[in-house]
Amino acid sequence: MSFHQNSLNILHLLLFFTCFGLPIVIARMYLIAKIHYLSILFFFFFAADDDALSLLRVAVGNPERQIDS
C-alpha cells in the first residue's frame, strides 16, 4: 500500500467519525445533561416538603428545629 492510499484511508476514517461519531457524542451529552437537570428538578420538588427540608437541614448540619420522632 502506498502512502497516498494510507492517507486516503485515514481521511475516510476521520470523515466517518466526524459525520457519525460527533452527533452521537453530542446526543449522549445532551441526554446526560437533560437527565441531570431532571434529577435536580425532582430533588427540589421533593425537598419542598417540610419534613424533607428539615431532614435536609439536619443532613447538612444546620437544623432550625427538632424533627418530630
Band the pLDDT of 20: cuts 50, 70, 90.
confident
Question: Which grid coordinates belong to 34?
Answer: 437533560
Higher-confidence residue of 39 and 51: namely 39
For residue 55, the one-letter residue type is L
| pTM for the full predicted model | 0.38
DSSP secondary structure letter of residue 63: -
- Angle between helix axes 50-60 and 22-47 (nearest 10 degrees) is 100
Q: Kindly tell me if the per-residue pLDDT of 48 is higher than 70.
A: no
Q: What pLDDT does 30 receive?
A: 84
